[in-house]
Amino acid sequence: MSKKELSLGADFTKGLWDQNPVLRQLLGMCPTLAVTTSAINGLGMGVATTFVLVCASLMVSLVRKAIPAQVRIASYIVIIAAFVTIVDLAMKAKFPALSKSLGAFIPLIVVNCVILGRQEAYASKNNPLRSVVDAAGMGLGFTASLIVLGGVRELLGNRTVFGFQLLPDVWEPWIVMILPAGAFLTLGLILGGVNMLNRHREQAALQTARRASLAVKEA
Amino acid sequence: MELFGIFITAAVINNFVLSQFLGICPFLGVSGKLSSATSMGMATTFVMVMAAGVTFLIQEYVLDPAGLGFLQTVSFILVIASLVQFVEMVIKKVSTPLYRALGIFLPLITTNCAIMGLCLFAVMKDFSFIESLVFALGAGAGFTLALVLMAGIREELELANVPLNLRGAGITLIVAGTLALSFMGFAGMKF
């Protein structure tokens, strides 16, 4: 996945859309679905995951030459677990309410496949600067997807986004949206929407290419 | 009767996959075929029961007396990873056909958050040793049930005319949503 000709900027932005961990790679689904009952939960989870991802990528990239290939997965997991413990303790101290509503899903960041996936696919093969940029892009893409999913579910299920009421009182809240079933349905439809957008973009690109080749022939 | 309640609660009322969102990755990844779904469910259940037992002992006799609660995450994940490795070696030695059938699914179990989640929940709920084991058995049964249900539906889905943009992950998630909706019917049960 790592192409040498990719610029630093492109390394950062690929995580936002083209290789968005949730919407395109379908990684890290468990926290994505479980905590997004509101936009603020999505934000909290996203920031915590991004922090662990960036720190672990930096660390793995720094020690990548010292780790024997046979024990690399176990080493990555220990590095990740150390940073997750830091986040867990910090959250409990600074944001007790958020920490309570995210519950077991903070320690469960350890087994988030987005993080392990980036260590294996990127940080173990690239220099620290690139790894951090890549991790920050992926983390931001992950956070953005979580906020969108949480926002939609909170809006339809509770009339609010980030605690601000956006829909009028006459709107009957769709309770199902903040229940488990709503998470699956919303993400399924969002994925459908993303596919549709991409298909449109591809077709538009194809048409401009066709027009350009026609123009060349005519000339 | 209380143990039975824990089993039923873990298996259907609070189904790990459909109402707690644990183990979604194998649920979406390995539910394409009925036979592999069954194998995956069995292997996961086995590791779950083992992991629940070992992590209970570690929490009770090492972490708690020594006041090392902050090492919980690190030690649990190490236990699970080495347990999966160990199970793989034992199965390879004891039964080659079973090893072939499970093959690639075994290492995948390490990153299954249902197992880690199970161990954390068992500690949070203050279960005794036997209760932890029954809880793990129930969670494993629920995981297998969800996986097998999904695989059955997806085999039928192959023949269905799905809208172009929803093909693949989209329709799978929507089907999972419908399944979750039907599992909400168990929510009223109390033990």
pLDDT surpasses 70 at A74:
yes
Dihedrals phi, psi of B68, to nearest 5 degrees: -105, 35
Nearest-CA residue of chain A relative to B24?
Answer: A30
| A195/B165 touch (CB, cutoff 8 Å), yes or no | yes
Q: What is the pLDDT of residue A5?
A: 53
Task: Select from A112, A181, A199 the Cβ nearest to the Cβ of B180.
Answer: A181
Q: What is the predicted pLDDT for the residue at A93?
A: 93
What token pair was written down for B179?
Answer: 């399944």
CB-CB under 8 Å, B116 with A111: yes
Residues A108, B116: C-beta atoms closer than 8 Å: yes
CA distance B131 to B52: 10
| pLDDT score for A3 | 46
Average of pLDDT values for B93-115?
77
Helix axes B72-94, B113-124, angle to 10 degrees: 130
CB contact under 8 A, A30 and B177: no
Mean pLDDT, residues B162-168: 84
Query: Which residue of chain A comes nearest to B165, CA vs CA?
Result: A192
Residues 6+ apart with CB under 8 A from A124: A60, A61, A64, A67, A72, A76
The CA–CA distances, whole Å, from B170 to A15, A19, B161, B162 equal 20, 17, 14, 10
B113/A111 Cβ within 8 A: yes
The rounded distance, in Å, linking the Cα atoms of A97 and A188 is: 29
**Tens digits of residue pLDDT in B29-49:** 777 788 878 888 888 898 899
Q: What per-residue confidence (pLDDT) applies to A2?
A: 45
Question: What is the distance between the alpha carbons of residues B165 and A176, in angstroms, rounded to a whole number?
Answer: 24
A residues 127-166 lying closer than 8 A (beta carbon) to B: none
Of A26, A74, A89, the CB nearest to B70: A89
Q: Rounded distance, CA A18 to CA A6, Å?
A: 14
Each residue's pLDDT tens digit, A50-73: 999 999 999 999 998 998 887 888
Higher pLDDT residue, B43 or B55? B55
Q: What is the pLDDT of residues A177-199, one digit of tens each?
A: 888 889 999 999 999 999 899 88
pLDDT tier for residue B104 given thresholds of 50, 70 and 90: low
Which residue's structure tokens are 């203050």? B126
User: b or e along B74-88 (b: 16 or more beta carbons within 10 Å of the residue's beta carbon)?
Assistant: bbbbbbbbebbeebb
Per-residue model confidence (pLDDT) at position A214: 86
CA dist A187 and A164 (Å) reads: 23
pTM: 0.87
pLDDT value at A1 more than 70: no
Q: Could you tell me which chain A residue has the CA closest to the CA of B124?
A: A104
Confidence of residue A44 (pLDDT cuts 50, 70, 90): very high
The H or E element spanning position A160 is strand A160-161
- Residue B34 sits at the chain A interface (C-beta within 8 Å): no
Residues of B in contact with A56 (CB under 8 A): none
Distance from CA of A34 to the nearest CA of B (A): 6
Place of tokens 């679905």: A33
Check residue B1 and give its pLDDT: 58
Contact A112 B174 (CB under 8 A): no
ipTM of predicted complex: 0.84
Inter-chain touch A26–B28, beta carbons under 8 Å: yes
Inter-chain CB proximity A81 and B74 less than 8 Å: yes
Question: Closest approach of chain A CAs to the CA of B174, in angstroms?
Answer: 5
Mean pLDDT, range A99-119, rounded to an integer: 87
Compute the distance between CA of residue A168 and CA of residue A161 in angstroms, rounded to an integer.
13
> Is the pLDDT confidence value at A4 over 60?
no
- The pLDDT tens digits of the residues spanning B129-160 come to 999 999 999 999 999 999 999 999 988 888 88
Q: Where are the alpha helices (DSSP H) in chain B?
A: 2-8, 24-29, 34-58, 64-66, 72-94, 96-102, 105-108, 113-124, 129-157, 169-183
Element (H, E) at A161: strand A160-161
- Determine contact: B181 vs chain A, CB below 8 A: yes
**Residue A104 or residue B51, greater confidence:** B51
- What residues does B162 pair with on adjacent strands? none
Q: What confidence score (pLDDT) does residue B39 get?
A: 81
Scanning A36-127, the segments in alpha helix (DSSP H) are 39-63, 72-94, 96-102, 113-118
- Residue B135, chain A, CB below 8 Å: the answer is no
Which residue's structure tokens are 């980030």? Answer: A162
Are the beta carbons of A195 and B172 separated by less than 8 Å?
Answer: no
Distances from the Cα of A112 to the Cα of A8, A62, B10, B24, angstroms: 25, 21, 22, 11
Instruction: Between A104 and A132, name the one with better pLDDT.
Output: A132
Per-residue pLDDT of A146-180, as tens digits, reads 999 999 999 998 888 888 888 888 888 888 888 88
Q: Which residue has the tokens 């030690």?
A: B75
Mean pLDDT taken over chain A: 87
Pairing verdict, β A160-161 and A164-165: antiparallel
